[in-house]
Amino acid sequence: MPKTALSKRAQNTPPSPIRKLAPLAINAGKAGIHVYKLNIGQPDIESPREYFEGLRLFEEKVIAYEESQGNERLCRAWSKYINRTLNIDTRPEQFIITVGASEALVFTFMTCCDPGDEIIVFDPTYANYLGFAAIAGINLVPVLCRMEDNFALPVRSRIADKISDRTRAVLLCTPNNPTGTVCSKEELRILFDLCEERNLFLIVDETYREFVYDDFEPISALNLEPKSDRIIVIDSLSKRFSLCGARIGCLLTPNEEVLASALKIAQARLAAPTMSQFASAYMLENIKDDFLERVTNEFRARRNKLYAALKEIPGVIAHKPQGAFYTVVQLPVEDADAFATYMLDKFSYDGKTTFIAPAAGFYMQGSQGLQQARIAYVLNKNDIGEAIAVMAKGLESYSRR
């Protein structure tokens, strides 16, 4: 009997570039080596006590399904939070609560695109967008952002060149994962105008919205055009409130047709987790603004520490990220994947090593980023200093092999 074959799409789905080296890190840990994990966007910031308080206040005896659109109180609280912090005027009915930003992106891709349709993305790209595209059967078309431009948005004509008959949307992540680059209001306006002219959706992943440094202020695409049918905002509590494991995201749009269609898909999967929504609603209703100020200050300080440390390493080219908690750096190696593997598999200094994510997996254009790595500054300043010092030792040792 021949083996039952798997689907081609299953075979073609790329493994996560962030997670594939994880087994080597586990082995290093088992061998007694301390591994500084700069590879994933899992901050060490304590989740807000208001979230835990909210959980304790849940009094139902039955953990029943929540509404497919999401807990009403959470939609109201999230809408109020956004209106207050961004000075806009969203309504609770414009939200669909999802299992993280991930699910909001899948719903959006499915709602906007038929199989074979295209969405324009910026390269390097958050690697999971490729997974969502595989799930939705659509094609992502990359426009390259260059390290020498600090990964800023390319000029309009370079984006317009990629628009085809099948293009349905432009997807932007700002502040950006993996580069840490922030899109200015003027750049967003150019992108919106292009979408308006070419009749495309503008999908903006604002998961890291509040984490902006230097002269930037948090903005949403909805600040440009609060009533635009064209704008779909993807949001999440994961990073902002250090609640990655709560799995609470949302899709937010003034477009009622998009909401109605996404809701039909949402109904098939029933609902997002009940208690997590209840606790998130309580948290958003009760959390003080100083929580995010404190966290943003902390990430800014880490960013400064990381950037200063990277600049000291011979041959490393670093740009100063303006937001989120990532950066992409160029290393003085031919193959950053091999170097990242070496760090976990062969190297330690003083019983320690550093886990970085090779950047090639974030680039859709194959030959790009081979010498680059994504570094997530999710550890405290001291640990970041140590981790980069260990990486510098690793680079020395690697060059002498």
Nearer to a copy of itself, 155 or 260 (CB): 260
Q: Does the protein bind a copy of itself through residue 9 (CB under 8 A)?
A: yes
The DSSP element (H or E) to which 366 belongs, if any, is none
117 versus 206: smaller Cβ distance to a copy of itself: 117
CA distance 331 to 314: 9
Of the listed pieces 2-10, 145-153, 282-290, 346-354, which binds a copy of itself according to CB under 8 A?
A: 2-10
Q: Which stretch binds a copy of itself (CB under 8 A): 85-93, 94-102, 206-214, 365-373?
A: 94-102
Q: How far is the CB of 133 from a copy of itself (least distance, A)?
A: 9
Footprint of a copy of itself on residues 192-221 (CB under 8 A)? 196, 199-201
179 binds a copy of itself (CB under 8 A): no
Q: Rounded distance, CA 273 to CA 113, Å? A: 27
The stretch near a copy of itself (CB under 8 A) out of 35-43, 157-165, 320-328, 389-397 is 35-43
> CA 144 → CA 67, 148, 155, 177, 364, distances in Å?
40, 12, 11, 14, 9
Establish if 244 lies at the interface with a copy of itself (CB under 8 A): yes
Name the CA dihedral angle for 304, 154, 144, 20, rounded to a multiple of 10 degrees: 30
Q: Does 257 bind a copy of itself (CB under 8 A)?
A: yes
Among 83, 139, 274, 397, binds a copy of itself (CB under 8 A): 274
Q: Is 256 in the site for a copy of itself (CB under 8 A)?
A: no
Does position 148 interact with a copy of itself (CB under 8 A)? The reply is: no
Give the number of other Cβ atoms within 10 Å of residue 390's Cβ: 22
Binding mask 282-321 for a copy of itself (x = CB under 8 A): ----------------------------------------
Query: Binding of a copy of itself at residue 117 (CB under 8 A)?
Result: yes
42 versus 296: smaller Cβ distance to a copy of itself: 42
Q: Note whether 139 binds a copy of itself by CB under 8 A.
A: no
Q: Which stretch binds a copy of itself (CB under 8 A): 30-38, 96-104, 177-185, 219-227?
A: 96-104
The order of strands in the sheet holding 167-173 is 95-98, 249-252, 231-236, 201-205, 167-173, 118-123, 139-144
The owner of tokens 């966290």 is: 295
| CA-angle at 98, arms to 94 and 99, nearest 5° | 165
User: At which residue do the structure tokens 């019983």 appear?
Assistant: 351
10 binds a copy of itself, rule: CB under 8 A: yes
Binding flag, residue 401, a copy of itself (CB under 8 A): no
Report d(CA 16, CA 362) in Å as an integer: 10
Burial class (CB in 10 A: 0-12, 13-18, 19+), 359: buried
CA 148 to chain centre: 22
Two tokens, residue 356: 């970085």
If one asks whether residue 385 binds a copy of itself (CB under 8 A), the answer comes out as no
Binding of residue 247 to a copy of itself (CB under 8 A): yes
Which one of 29, 33, 55, 285 is in contact with a copy of itself (CB under 8 A)? 55
| Radius of gyration, CA atoms only, the chain | 21
